[in-house]
């Protein structure tokens, strides 16, 4: 997004609803000239420029009588092919395009804090495209992805964390993801960070005042109560970050491959977890030769399970391709479900799988519990190193222990640490990285203060922490970050 994209001397338009057949579609117009442009396209009992704010008006969308000289969208703005075609040969002046309802929102009482007009037309392939083309012909520019929300942010209606929550709300695929995004949009995270920033600002002011007036206050050392305040803020940021893993799983979903040596019941367990016969199950080792995936919800997290080819060294060429895909899935996943035949002693093939899982959070399913127990929990845990792990006895065929397995999966995803604190949590990696840097700076500030170092050093670290926290809400953010954030929005939002 160039510097010119951050100015608001033009008026933008876009279709705000999803394509396809539907009862209604909405075309949104925002900018200083929104009311005048709408006048050229809307024919009803009241002209939009004369209408009161927050009112609805029935009428017709018509082709504008005159085409403005400056019609093309700025370089880099993509005009939808259908809209472009309509714009190129769109009929005569005042031709009726569709029956519409015009919604008028005058600045600053609108989503963008600019004048906004929304034309609700019939859904389907053509109506919204033709209405959009008319608005472009009347002088509007096609909006870039996320530009309406970008304007809302830059006009102060939303802070950056709240603006990002708009996109999260649109993409939410579970109730928990929806609640998390809605809480962030309502300001739960922003309010919490604002309180922490205020306390840090007070600390910076006191430290810098002592530096400026050292002779009057008896030295430039940082008093203990300031160090205590910095330490308290650091602890609160730590508590906030404790829920990041769970909130990120809720926000983005998680891919979990099911691995193990051949013929331990991976496909049977996959079918038991998803509740239908999706994977082929036979007694012949190597039946699964490619990944079969299915999505289910586990405690609010969208989990994509993949039944993968059994890991072993010697396989035919086709099975070897499936095994290689299993290894790729294993490398790219944050969590693995390892299926072990609990009715037979552990073998070298099981140990080889365990070595491949080194350092990876692992949920172990000791399968075939209906056939007896030849492997204990301690036996399996002894093979795994490092990362968190859980062991659950199950019988995929008898559907025994499947609920406990799902509970253990939720626990490994972080439900215990963050599940009860979704209100002010953040699953956004950008937020977590910035708040992590803030904690590092706070740690250095506290250490410098305890060591009796000059107040200038402590103040410098505190200001770095303030800047990092400000990146989350947009108090301190560059154009490159804005471009990355808003480029993932859909056009029209």
Task: Return the domain boundaries, the chain.
Answer: 3-158, 166-243+425-474, 249-413
Max mean pLDDT range (112-116, 288-292, 338-342, 402-406)? 112-116
- Note the pLDDT of residue 421: 52
* Residue of higher predicted confidence among 483 and 324: 483
pLDDT per residue as tens digits for the range 349-367: 888 888 888 888 899 999 9
pLDDT of 333 > 60? The answer is: yes
Give whole-number Cα distances, 340 to 60, 270, 365, 397, in Å: 67, 13, 6, 14
- Note the pLDDT of residue 320: 55
Q: Domain 3-158 maps to which CATH number in 3.90.1150.10, 3.30.1360.120, 3.40.50.1970, 3.90.950.10?
A: 3.30.1360.120
- Close Cβ partners of 189 (under 8 Å, ≥ 6 residues apart): 161, 183, 424, 425, 426, 431, 472
Give the number of residues written for the chain: 493
Q: Would the CA dihedral through 151, 155, 161, 163 be positive or negative?
A: negative
* Residue of higher predicted confidence among 103 and 300: 103
Task: Supply φ then ψ for residue 14, to 5 degrees.
Answer: -165, 160
pLDDT band at 21; cut points 50, 70, 90: confident
pLDDT of 60 > 90? The answer is: yes
- Note the pLDDT of residue 354: 87
Q: Are 124 and 165 in contact (CB under 8 A)?
A: no
- Note the pLDDT of residue 7: 62
pLDDT band at 88; cut points 50, 70, 90: very low
How far apart are alpha carbons 245 and 249 in whole angstroms? 6
Cis peptide leading into residue 18 (ω within 30°): no
pLDDT of 67 > 60? The answer is: no
Taking the CA atoms of residue 293, residue 299, residue 302 and residue 308 in that order, the dihedral angle to the nearest 10 degrees is: -20
The whole-number average pLDDT for the span 88-111 is 84
Structure tokens at 356: 């491949």
* Residue of higher predicted confidence among 6 and 254: 254
The whole-number average pLDDT for the span 386-410 is 90
- Note the pLDDT of residue 395: 93
- Note the pLDDT of residue 323: 59
Cα-atom radius of gyration of the chain, to the nearest Å? 29
pLDDT per residue as tens digits for the range 240-265: 998 888 888 889 898 898 988 888 88
Topology (CATH) of 166-243+425-474:
1.20.120
Please give the distance of CA 197 from its chain centroid, rounded to a whole number.
24
- Note the pLDDT of residue 329: 62
Closest CA to 153 of 171, 142, 165, 135: 165
The whole-number average pLDDT for the span 152-163 is 93
Global confidence as pTM: 0.77
pLDDT band at 281; cut points 50, 70, 90: very low
Number of neighbours of residue 45 by Cβ within 10 angstroms: 8
Burial class (CB in 10 A: 0-12, 13-18, 19+), 4: exposed
Q: Domain 249-413 maps to which CATH number in 3.40.1520.20, 3.40.50.300, 3.30.1130.10, 3.30.1540.10?
A: 3.40.50.300
- Close Cβ partners of 235 (under 8 Å, ≥ 6 residues apart): none
pLDDT per residue as tens digits for the range 174-206: 898 999 999 999 999 999 999 999 999 999 988
Q: Is 166-243+425-474 the same fold as 3-158? A: no
Three-state SS for 489? Answer: coil
């Amino acid at each position: 997004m160039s510097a010119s994209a951050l100015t608001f001397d033009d008026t933008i338009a876009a279709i705000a609803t999803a394509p396809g057949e539907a009862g209604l579609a909405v075309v949104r117009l925002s900018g200083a000239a929104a009311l005048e442009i709408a006048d050229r396209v809307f024919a009803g009992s009241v002209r939009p420029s004369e209408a009161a704010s927050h009112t609805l008006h029935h009428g017709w969308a018509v082709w504008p009588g005159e085409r403005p000289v400056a019609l093309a969208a700025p370089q880099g703005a993509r005009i939808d092919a259908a809209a472009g075609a309509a714009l190129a040969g769109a009929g005569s002046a005042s031709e009726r395009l569709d029956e519409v309802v015009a919604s008028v929102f005058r600045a600053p009482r609108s989503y963008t804090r600019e004048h906004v007009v929304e034309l609700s037309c019939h859904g389907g392939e053509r109506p919204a495209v033709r209405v959009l083309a008319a608005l472009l012909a009347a002088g509007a520019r096609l909006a870039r992805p996320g530009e309406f929300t970008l304007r809302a942010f830059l006009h102060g209606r939303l802070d950056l964390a709240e603006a990002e929550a708009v996109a999260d709300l649109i993409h939410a695929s579970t109730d928990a993801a929806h609640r998390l995004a809605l809480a962030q949009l309502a300001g739960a995270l922003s309010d919490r960070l604002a309180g922490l920033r205020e306390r840090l600002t007070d600390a910076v002011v006191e430290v810098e005042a002592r530096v400026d007036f050292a002779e009057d206050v008896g030295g430039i050392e940082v008093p203990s109560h300031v160090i205590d305040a910095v330490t308290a803020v650091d602890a609160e940021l730590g508590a906030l970050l404790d829920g990041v893993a769970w909130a990120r799983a809720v926000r983005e979903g998680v891919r979990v491959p099911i691995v193990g040596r051949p013929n331990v019941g991976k496909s049977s367990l996959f079918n038991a977890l998803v509740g239908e016969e999706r994977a082929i199950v036979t007694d012949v080792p190597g039946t699964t030769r490619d990944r079969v995936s299915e999505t289910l919800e586990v405690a609010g997290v969208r989990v994509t399970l993949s039944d993968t080819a059994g890991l072993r060294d010697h396989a035919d060429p086709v099975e070897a391709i499936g095994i290689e895909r299993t290894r790729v899935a294993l490398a790219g996943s944050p969590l693995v479900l390892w299926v072990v035949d609990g009715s037979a002693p552990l073998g070298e093939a099981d140990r080889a799988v365990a070595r491949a899982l080194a350092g990876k959070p692992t949920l172990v399913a000791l399968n075939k519990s209906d056939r007896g127990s030849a492997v204990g929990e301690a036996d399996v845990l002894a093979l795994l190193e490092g990362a968190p792990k859980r062991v659950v006895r199950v019988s995929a065929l008898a559907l025994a222990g499947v609920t406990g397995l799902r509970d253990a999966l939720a626990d490994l995803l972080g439900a215990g640490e963050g599940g009860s604190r979704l209100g002010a949590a953040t699953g956004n990696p950008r937020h977590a990285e910035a708040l992590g840097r803030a904690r590092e700076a706070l740690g250095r500030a506290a250490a410098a203060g305890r060591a009796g170092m000059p107040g200038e050093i402590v103040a410098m670290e505190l200001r770095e922490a303030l800047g990092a926290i400000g990146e989350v809400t947009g108090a301190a953010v560059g154009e490159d970050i804005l471009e990355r954030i808003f480029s993932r929005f859909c056009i029209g939002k």
